[in-house]
Amino acid sequence: MELRHLHYFIAVAEELHFSRAAERLRISQPPLSQQIRGLEDELGVKLFERTKRQVHLTEAGKVFLERSYLVLAQLDQAIEVTQQIGRGEVGRLAIGFVGSATYTVLPNILSVFREQFPAVELRLHELTTAQQIQALHHKQVDVGIVRSAIIEPGLSVKCILQESLVLALPATHLLSAQTKVSLSALADELFILFPAKMGPIFYEQIINICQQAGFSPKVAQEAVQMQTIIGLVAAGLGIAFVPASLQNFHRSGVVYRPLQEQTPQTGLYLTWRQHDSSPVIRAFLSLAQQTTQHEPNLNDT
């Protein structure tokens, strides 16, 4: 039995007239009659009672019609779901992200993705850059938003935002009275840094900025999350270099000041497994890049 046999049977069952059914199917009547007889022979039951003037469904034919409708409906549903999967419209997506992404591109990306792909189940994981690299290799996340332009075998990287670094200071700090702070004024300050092992590229960037200004930073504390770093600054335990987007994180007891000198920018990057061909992942990557392509680079003003 082939799918076309069901279409032939349904046409005759609905029209109860072989000529009209043949016209509807755009075939001639003799082949249609032959196909229906062949279907009945294969099933071993009569589906129609035929007279010279009328055609009626048998009881078996009525049941077969109901079942045929169900089969075609299930087939249509299977085709639709398959096509949706092929377009990345259904499935699951695990996204890793650094905490600072929540103050810039991540909320907009997620909002647009949810609007366009409501059937995709999102699983969000706040992780450091180093943790995301491991999670990608172990297939615990599908896409990452990391703080550095990582170079990692098997992973692809795409920049979606560049931003300046600013200085986070306790509100009572003497330097908070300045509109811009010179790096040379920071030589004797205590710093709160992101751990080297959790984000080596970002850590090295901070160290290099200080060393080019003629000093090595005195590390008072280390903290994994940017929000924690800001909290420690508010407590007066030190100062910190943070991405300019952290200015969107309003915390009493903390002020942000731009630097007088030009310093290398930091960025947010999409990262994913190079050979992962998942339609859902491809859809997210495409949308994330489209959503952020007009995102202005964040400077210190």
Burial class of residue 55 in the structure, from the number of CB atoms within 10 Å of its CB (0-12 exposed, 13-18 middle, 19+ buried): middle
* 144: nearest Cα among 187, 95, 216, 82: 95
Domains of the chain: 3-86 (1.10.10.10), 91-161+267-292 (3.40.190.10), 165-264 (3.40.190.10)
Instruction: List per-residue pLDDT tens for the chain, 301 residues long.
Output: 788 888 888 888 888 888 888 889 899 888 888 888 888 888 899 999 888 778 889 888 889 888 988 888 888 877 777 776 666 666 889 999 998 899 889 999 999 999 999 988 899 999 999 899 999 999 999 999 998 888 899 999 999 999 999 999 999 999 999 999 999 999 999 999 988 888 788 899 999 999 999 999 999 999 988 889 999 999 999 999 999 999 988 889 999 999 999 988 899 999 999 988 888 899 899 999 999 876 555 554 4
Q: How many residues does the chain have?
A: 301
Indicate the pairing of strand 266-273 with strand 143-146. antiparallel
Query: What's the pLDDT score for residue 301?
Result: 41
**Spatial distance between the Cα atoms of 188 and 170, rounded to a whole number of angstroms:** 15
Confirm whether pTM is higher than 0.85.
no
